[in-house]
Amino acid sequence: MSRFFGWLRQLVCFTAIALFAIQLVSAPALATSLYSMPQTLKSDTWILDEAAQVSRLNEGKISKSLSELAQATGNEVHFVTIHRLDYGETVQSFADQLMELWFPSPEAQGDQTVIVLDDVTNNIGISVGEKSSQQLSEDIAASVVSETMKIPLLQGNQYNQSFLNATDRLVAVLSGETDPGPPAAYDDTVDTERTFATADETEATRGSSTIVVVVLLIAATVIPMATYYWYMSVGG
């Protein structure tokens, strides 16, 4: 009888492992919180693409433009993409919190601009330091996130175009040039490298994961029982 309970415990253990594997496959992505973000920002970090929505090619272009802006004017712009916020958090409050986290003092915040995009909702928040706000006014800042960045997102989630457009406009404004305003027309010629799975690829991955989980579950149930009956028949 003791041997039976020993095998029963093993069966329960294997089943628990299989159920845990199912949860890992089916669980949604964890929400982003302030504590999951880098607690300090490196001086050469211009775009923090946590949601993996910007191609490497365009990330390089954006970083180059923003680095040159910082060297020429002292104004710094930092883009952040995230995937899902904690419950009750807004993308605007998150942008403000990142500004305070990375640039704790009013002096440090003065020439900084932090822009955060949540790719689940495509909502965008912007936090502008006091010095930068002398050129990047509240109206222009609102237009950057609601028009310059938002329009490409409404036309097929074109994240690369959205960030490139915003970079061009912000560089112009923060360099003291005339505000070019939001783009008059959508430009679909931007170079992109696909950073997302197609529907077919997602379905294929989901199907493969389901098969693996089913096999694990069957194995976790059948193998201990078969081994137990074999052991009992041999020792019987």
The answer on pLDDT for 11 being more than 70 is no
Distance of alpha carbon 129 from alpha carbon 106, whole angstroms:
8
Average pLDDT over residues 35-55: 93
Distance of alpha carbon 130 from alpha carbon 134, whole angstroms:
7
Q: What is the dihedral of CA 181, 185, 189, 195, to 10 degrees?
A: 70
Among candidates 188, 185, 171, which has minimal Cα distance to 79? 171
**Which of 23-27, 36-40, 50-54, 67-71 has the weakest average pLDDT?**
23-27
Under 8 Å between Cβ of 75 and 132: yes
Task: Tell me how far apart the terminal alpha carbons of the chain are, to the nearest angstrom.
Answer: 13
HEC assignment per residue over 120-187: CCCEEEEEECCCHHHCCCHHHHHHHHHHHCHHHHHCCCCHHHHHHHHHHHHHHHHCCCCCCCCCCCCC
The answer on pLDDT for 191 being more than 60 is no
In three-state secondary structure terms, 194 is coil
Task: Check residue 184 and give its pLDDT.
Answer: 75
Task: Check residue 183 and give its pLDDT.
Answer: 83
Beta bridge partners of 193: none
Task: Check residue 162 and give its pLDDT.
Answer: 97
Instruction: Give pLDDT tens digits for 207-232.
Output: 554 564 455 666 666 676 666 666 56
Instruction: Give pLDDT tens digits for 194-205.
Output: 434 444 444 544
Task: Check residue 230 and give its pLDDT.
Answer: 61
